[in-house]
Structure 1
Amino acid sequence: MVAPLLAGCTTAEPEPRTPLVAGTGAPVIIPGGPGDAGRTARPGENLGESEARITAADVRFAEGMIPHHRQALEMAALVRPRSSSPVLWKLAERVTAAQRPEIAAMTSWLKSAGRAPAGYDGGGGPHGDHGDHAVTQEQENQLRTARGTDFDRLFLSLMIVHHEAAVTMAKQQIEDGTDRIMLAMAADVVSGQAIEITRMRRELLRLGG
Structure 2
Amino acid sequence: MLASGLGTILAGCTGDPAGERAPIVVGSGAPVVVPGAPGQDARTATPGERLGREESRASAADVLFAERMIPHHRQALEMAGLAPARASDPRVRALCERIVAAQRPEIDVMSRWLRALGRDVPAEHSGHGADGSGEPDRYGMAGLEEMNRLRAARGEAFDALLLRLMIRHHEGAVAMAEEERAGGTDRILRAMAKDVVAGQRAEIVRMRALER
Q: Tell whether the structures are fold-level matches, with TM greater than 0.5.
A: yes
Pick from 180, 203, 209: which aligns with 2:210? 203
- Give the deviation of 1:118 after TM superposition: 3.6
Q: Find the aligned partners of 2:210 and 2:3 in 1 and give their Cα distance.
A: 30
Give the Cα separation in 2 of the matches to 1:43 and 1:181.
7
Task: Supply the distance in 2 between the matched residues of 1:96 and 1:137 (Cα, whole angstroms).
Answer: 21
Q: Quote the Cα distance in structure 1 between the aligned partners of 2:64 and 2:207.
A: 28
Give 1:117 deviation, angstroms: 1.4
C-alpha separation in 2, matches of 1:42 and 1:176: 24
Unaligned runs of 5+ in 2: 14-19, 22-53, 132-136
CA distance in 1 between counterparts of 2:10 and 2:114 reads 15
TM-score (norm 2): 0.71
How far residue 138 of structure 1 moved from its aligned partner, in angstroms, is: 1.0
* Residue 157 (str. 1) matches residue 145 (str. 2): no
TM superposition score normalised by structure 1: 0.72
Distance 1:164 1:138 in 2: 20
Partner of 2:111: 107
Moved over 4 A (4+): 41-45
Q: How is 1:49-88 mapped onto 2 (pairs within 5 angstroms)?
A: 49=21, 51-88=55-92
Cα deviation code 1:96-136 (max 9, x no counterpart):
000000000000000001112142xxxxxxx3436244211
Pairwise CA RMSD of aligned residues? 2.1
Q: Which residue of 1 aligns with 2:193?
A: 186
Larger-Rg structure: 2
- Quick check: 1:23–1:43 contact (8 Å CA) kept in 2? no
Percent identical residues: 50
Check whether the contact 1:23–1:44 (CA below 8 A) recurs between aligned residues: no
Give aligned pairs, total. 163
Q: Distance in 2 between matches of 1:162 and 1:85?
A: 20
